[in-house]
Amino acid sequence: MFSHISTKMIQFVFFTGILLFILEFFSDGAGLLPVLFFFTLFIFIGKRTKRRTLATIFWWTGWIGLGLTAVTLWAVQFWVIAFFVLLLLQMRRSGREPVEEQAEVEELSGRIENYERDELLGNRLWGREKVGRKPFHWKDINVIGGVGDKMVDVTNTVLPQQAVIIIRHGLGSVTVYVPYEVHVVIRHSTLYGRVRLFGKEEAKRWNQTVTLRVPAADKDVPTLYIFTSLLSGDLEVERR
C-alpha cells in the first residue's frame, strides 16, 4: 500500500505511537486501567452468559467501549493522523513517477520468472492457521505471526532430505505433527510458555531456549528442522 514510503518511516511511526502509549499509561494509568478492565469484563461476561440476547448486549457494549476508549488515546490519534499523512505522500509520489514504477515492475517480472507467491503459511497478524489436514506438496515454511495458534501436520506430505520450519510468533501456540520415519531437530526459544515434545511435558519456561535432536530408527531418512521463537505461547511436537 505504501510502496513509496520507506520502511524506516513506517517503523518511526509505529514506535513513536508505542512511546506515546507508554507515556500516556504512566501519566494517566490510574484512570485508564479501570476503564479497560470494566469493558474487558463486559466482553468476558458476554462470552460466558448463556442467554443470547444478554450476551450480545454485554459483548457489543464491551467492544464499543474499548473502541471509544482507544480513540481517546494519544497513540491511536497519532497513528490515524500519520496514516492519512503517509497516504497523501503516497498519492503525491505515485502521481509524480507512474511511468518509472511501471517500467521497474516489468523489468523485475522479466528477471524472476519462477517466483512463487503461494505459501503453506502466511505472515498473519491475527488468526489461526492449519496446514496438513489434506495431502499437500511440501515447501519450506518461514513465517512471522502475531496472535493466534498455528498447526503444521507433516504426516500428509513427502519431505525432501532436509526440510525446514521456521516460525517467529508473538502470542499463541505452535503445534507440529511429524511422521515416525524422519529425524527431528528442534530449537525453540520463548519468553514465557510451556514445551511438550514427544509426549514429555516440561514446566513452563521463562526466557529460555530448548534444543533437541531426535533420530529416527532408520538412518537414511529425511531430517526435519523446526526453529520456533515465541513471545508467549506453548510448543508441542508429536509423532503420529
For 61-113, write each residue's pLDDT tens digit. 989 988 888 888 888 888 889 888 888 887 776 655 544 444 444 444 444 44
pLDDT in tens, 187-234: 999 887 888 888 887 766 677 888 999 888 888 899 999 999 988 888
Rounded to whole angstroms, the Cα distance separating 89 from 95 reads 10
Rounded to whole angstroms, the Cα distance separating 145 from 119 reads 14
pLDDT above 60 (res 155): yes
Q: Is 62 helix (H, G, I), strand (E, B) or coil?
A: helix
Answer whether 165's CB lies under 8 Å from 176's CB. Answer: yes
Nearest CA to 24 among 87, 63, 96, 73? 73
pLDDT on residue 236: 92
The arithmetic mean of pLDDT across residues 149-167, rounded, is 91
Q: Is 98 helix (H, G, I), strand (E, B) or coil?
A: helix
- The CA-based diameter of the chain, rounded to the nearest angstrom, is 63
Compute the radius of gyration of the chain from its Cα atoms. Answer: 23
In a 13 Å sphere around the CA of 136, the CA atoms on its Cβ side amount to 16
Answer whether 137's CB lies under 8 Å from 115's CB. Answer: no
Nearest CA to 205 among 239, 228, 178? 228
Q: Residue 168: CB partners within 8 Å, gap ≥ 6?
A: 143, 144, 145, 228, 229
Cell of 76: 491511536
Nearest CA to 120 among 112, 110, 132, 109? 132
